[in-house]
Amino acid sequence: MLHGKRILLVIGGGIAAYKSLDLIRRLQDRGAKVRAILTKAGTQFVTPLSVGSLTGDKVFQELFSLTDENEMGHIELSRDADLLVVAPATADLMAKMAHGHANDLASTALLATDKRVLVAPAMNVRMWLHPATQRNLETLRADGVAVVGPNEGGMACGEFGPGRMSEVPEIIAAIEKALAPAARPLAGHHVVVTSGPTREAIDPVRYISNHSSGKQGHAIARAAAEAGASVTLVTGPVALPDPPGVKTIHVESARDMMAAVEAALPASIAIFAAAVADWRVADIAGGKIKKGAGGPPTLAFVENPDILATISQRTTDRPRLVVGFAAETENVVDNARAKLARKGCDLIVANDVATGTGTFGGDSNTVHLVTADGVETWERQSKDAVAAALVSRIAERIAAR
Ligand SMILES: Cc1cc2nc3c(=O)[nH]c(=O)nc-3n(C[C@H](O)[C@H](O)[C@H](O)COP(=O)(O)O)c2cc1C
């Protein structure tokens, strides 16, 4: 499927640059035409002569090159390709891409392109885990950049952990996926997704909430949009950017979320991934509650509306498929089975959020899919992978109905 495809390979300045030489060969074996941009730092790891001998073409290195601009300008270079692949994607290149820098040929071509971009990050484990790199990664993902790896393992610097560039066959598989015509099994469907925590006010300055980060719900909204659905995301307060191409409604409390979900109907699919507070304070104080001689206040609670049960049991405008999430700390599957029956939804995604699992706030998730027909346990995987698998499962069920 790579036959005749034009790949613009950006080789950054990292030890893993040597693997990109093999990547060029393997892409050519599959009939792809590869052009390469080599960063200044990249030339410290592989020579322009090696890269050019393999691509059989000029190696593009300079932004301000009269010959290059006359032969093929940087804009044309970045648009002439079917796909841009950055391998190795250094921490520096990822930062430049995330912030829209354009101060050398590689970053300018990456900013000027209108084509899909795939990055294969490679760096020291501390650089990879640094909040700045993780922030940049999140931004790139939100901008629609595809990411492959990195893998975990020993590094040239002697440390161990995530940061090793994916192996060539993994990068090729990601390239094939990025070039495959987008499957749009949810085209024509409206999907409502909830995400994040809710905040229940105690007084004008205090609230009760939970540790939900919204990463899983937002990933599902993104995956549903990529599958062709028109998506309304109703989200509680989270520190994530709104997913591209998704109508995002920001709410605070469970009651706000309920109202926003009802207003978003009709929809053919509803996926309730938000961690909605079960209770709210019965009487929200009008002014800040003060410390005083009376000691700490006693808070009385009332139950919040049950969004999953309410929407599952609607007699009008019930979505054809209602998916609930069950965050449990014990008896995960049994509790999810009971919840499925009690709420009247079609599918429950149960996850273990006990301390130590890293599910709340983390980037990966172990889930069990519970339906009336049985239970399926998925191996621990990234929240993006869970979202993609869940959306394709939902698409199958919708198609079968
Ligand atoms: C020996 C050596 C190895 C390096 N390996 C990496 C690496 O694997 N990943 C990375 O992000 N930076 C690495 N760096 C740092 C980058 O080369 C440096 O940030 C450079 O400015 C990146 O430029 P570029 O992004 O334009 O290619 C390494 C530096 C040295 C000296």
User: For residue 318, what are the contacts with CB-CB under 8 A and spacing of at least 6?
Assistant: 311, 312
Q: Which of 132, 156, 157, 239 is catalytic?
A: 157
Say yes or no: domain 6-179 is CATH 3.60.20.10. no
pLDDT of residue 356: 67
Q: Determine which residue's CA is closest to atom 13 belonging to ligand 1.
A: 14
CB 11 within 8 A of CB 87: yes
Distance 43 CA to ligand 1 centre (A): 11
Find the residues whose C-beta lies inside 6 A of ligand 1.
12-16, 39, 41-42, 88, 90-93, 122-123, 127
CA of 99 to the centre of ligand 1 (A): 18
Angle ∠(157,162,165) on CA atoms, nearest 5: 75
Whole-number pLDDT of residue 181: 76
Minimum CA distance residue for ligand 1 atom 19? 92
- Minimum-distance ligand 1 atom for the alpha carbon of 92: 25
CA–centroid distance, 90 to ligand 1, in Å, is: 6
Q: What is the 3-state secondary structure (H, E, C) of the chain?
A: CCCCCEEEEEECCCCCHHHHHHHHHHHHHCCCEEEEEECCHHHHCCCHHHHHHHHCCCEECCCCCHHHHHHCCHHHHHHCCCEEEEEEECHHHHHHHHHCCCCCHHHHHHHHCCCEEEEEECCCHHHHHCHHHHHHHHHHHHCCCEECCCEEEECCCCCEEEEECCCHHHHHHHHHHHHCCCCCCCCCCEEEEEECECCEECCCCCEECCCCCCHHHHHHHHHHHHCCCEEEEEECCCCCCCCCCCEEEECCCHHHHHHHHHHHCCCCEEEECCECCCEEECCCCCCCCCCCCCCCCCCCEEECCCHHHHHHCCCCCCCCEEEEEEEECCCHHHHHHHHHHHHCCCEEEEEECCCCCCCCCCCEECEEEEECCEEEECCCEEHHHHHHHHHHHHHHHHHHC
Q: Give the per-residue pLDDT at 355.
A: 63
Atom of ligand 1 nearest to the CA of 90: 11
Choice from 18, 59, 90 to test ligand 1 binding pocket (greatest atom count within 8 A of CB): 90
143 to 111, 128, 147: CA distances (angstroms): 12, 19, 11
| Residue intervals in the chain for CATH 3.40.50.10300 | 190-400
Q: In testing the pocket of ligand 1, which one of 61, 92, 128, 129 has its CB within 8 Å of the most ligand atoms?
A: 92
Instruction: Check residue 276 and give its pLDDT.
Output: 97
Q: Hey, what CATH topology would domain 190-400 get?
A: Rossmann fold (3.40.50)
Distance from residue 13's CA to the centre of ligand 1 (Å)? 4
Q: Is position 345 annotated as part of the catalytic site? A: no
Distance CA 350, CA 332 (A): 7
- Averages of pLDDT over runs of 10 residues in the chain (401 residues) are 94 97 97 97 97 95 80 82 97 98 95 94 95 94 91 82 93 93 88 98 97 95 95 97 92 98 98 97 95 92 98 96 92 90 95 72 86 91 92 92 73
Cα 144 to ligand 1 centroid, rounded to whole Å: 24
